[in-house]
Amino acid sequence: MLNIVILAAGKGTRMHSDLPKVLHALAGKPLLQHVMDTSMSLTPGKTCVVYGHGGEIVPKTMSQYPASFVLQEPQLGTGHAVQQAMPELQDNSTTLILYGDVPLIQKATLQKLLQNPEHLNLLTLTMKNPSGYGRIIRDKMDKVSSIIEEKDATKEQRAVTEINTGILSAPTHLLRNWLNSLKNNNAQGEYYLTDIVAMAVSEGIEVSTSQPDHDWEVMGINSKVQLAELERIWQSEQALRLLQQGVTLADPQRIDIRGKLICARDVEIDVGCIFEGEVTLGNRVKVGAYTVIKSSNIDAGVQIAPFSHIESSNVGNNSIIGPYARLRPGTKLHNDVHIGNFVEVKNSEIASGSKANHLSYIGDTSIGSRVNVGAGTITCNYDGANKHRTIIEDDVFIGSDTQLVAPVTVKRGSTIGAGSTITKEAPENALTLSRAKQVTITGWQRPAKKPK
């Protein structure tokens, strides 16, 4: 069985922020949540997060996860941090140690690390510039003998380029014993987790090493600079995956995915688009520049023109959206629907072949098939206290600049004259309008300027 301990007690002084470091977002999600999600994908028997003083917000923010949270106060080093979690762990398990500020560790790398659960397994990396990291010290037979922190290292040891990423696993009962014997007689006066390596070696426990599939998986965050760097690396990585799947990206450096983007075949995405939550794009979907799509399904053949905003909506096959369209939560468009510039749709269903191409608000509305909603049409859905529905049946033509005061129904095949305010049901196949008759006053004079 697997137990996971996530260290997240560090102050994060260099973030210069009131928010605990591990709650800063990468790709729209708190750093710690990335680690939590990866942890959960390994189906651990127990997960324990070690958080720091003043960070009550950490357990609160992560309350949806089946994990326990222990406070480490004061913070006396990584070994001391893991000690805090030990009462939560199961003896007949393997414990994996992860870090709340190393967000992008991937499942495949961890599975590789955990292949021999009876060993002490270290995730290591060879770096051109290893400064600041603990060094992996090996004997003549190339077996790991210890980890030495940079501040405690000799000149010779500092020359070693294989570093400790911090991520490791060990049989829980051994880890428990080793942690109980830690001392803090070192350069930093801390209880080093890394000291367990020499203990394992002296007890004849096998120490194995493996490496991450990508260097970015083990990059830690200490500052906004590092956060921004890792964000770009992660975005590039996601863009690369899309390109490899056959998606056309106008510029792979100018797309941001803050969640999960699932693309079918021959999708094209122009520059500056942001995808949040889970978004699916069907075959041949084209997304115009600077479009923001959150938690939505866009079906095959849809074209979205630039600067459109779509949230919690479904867009049916071959529909045409934008430019400057806004689909708010609860929008369901069937096939071949056109929503044009400066049209806002909320909590509404629009059936096939219907169009609202210019300057409209459609809220809490059901629109049938083949309806034309003229420019400037407004559904007046809110009376100041409650929201009401507007029903527009099939084959209706709504003239421009119409107000539909809900609750109201426009029956099948009816035509509404431009500039009407409709407050009562409009009957089938008739022309309904509510406009004053046009009059002409002959001989009327425009006012003239008074002489000074």
Q: Which one of 23, 101, 168, 379 is in contact with ligand UD1 (CB under 6 A)? A: 101
Contacting range for ligand UD1; rule: CB under 6 A; set: 33-41, 96-104, 170-178, 412-420: 96-104
31 lies in the binding site for ligand UD1 (CB under 6 A): no
Q: Which of 24, 53, 334, 358 is catalytic?
A: 358
**Size, binding site for ligand UD1 by CB under 6 A:** 26
Between residues 130 and 322, which has the closer beta carbon with respect to ligand UD1? 130
With binding defined as CB under 6 A, does residue 32 bind ligand UD1?
A: no
φ/ψ region of 330 (left if φ > 0, alpha if ψ in -120 to 50, else beta) reads: left
Nearer to ligand UD1, 92 or 181 (CB): 181
Of 113-142, which residues contact ligand UD1 (CB under 6 A)? 133-134
For position 146 contacting ligand UD1 by CB under 6 A, the verdict is no
Place of tokens 């800063």: 24
178 touches ligand UD1 by CB under 6 A:
no
Strands 135-138 vs 144-148: parallel, antiparallel or unpaired: antiparallel
x-or-dash string of contact with ligand UD1, 260-299, rule CB under 6 A: ----------------------------------------
Of 289, 287, 295, the closest CA to residue 267 belongs to 287
Task: Pick between residue 99 and residue 178 the one whose CB is nearest to ligand UD1.
Answer: 99
Q: Residue 123's beta-bridge partner residues?
A: 210
Rule CB under 6 A: say whether 105 interacts with ligand UD1. Answer: no
Radius of gyration for the alpha carbons in the chain, expressed in angstroms and rounded: 31
By CB under 6 A, tell whether 196 contacts ligand UD1. no
302, burial (CB in 10 Å: exposed 0-12, middle 13-18, buried 19+) = buried
For position 193 contacting ligand UD1 by CB under 6 A, the verdict is yes
Q: Any contact of residue 69 with ligand UD1 (CB under 6 A)? A: no
Terminal CA-to-CA distance of the chain, rounded, Å? 96
Given the structure tokens 């958080």, which residue do they identify?
51
214 is catalytic: no
Residues 400-439 that bind ligand UD1 (CB under 6 A): none
Q: Which of 33, 78, 291, 360 binds ligand UD1 (CB under 6 A)?
A: 78
Candidates 62-70, 158-166, 396-404, 444-452: pick the segment binding ligand UD1 (CB under 6 A). 158-166
| The length of the chain, given as a count of residues | 452
Q: Closer to ligand UD1 at the Cβ: 76 or 433?
A: 76
Contact status: 50 vs ligand UD1 (CB under 6 A): yes
Residues that bind ligand UD1 (CB under 6 A): 7, 9-10, 50, 72, 75-78, 80-81, 99-101, 133-134, 147, 149, 163-166, 192-194, 220
User: Residues with catalytic annotation?
Assistant: 358
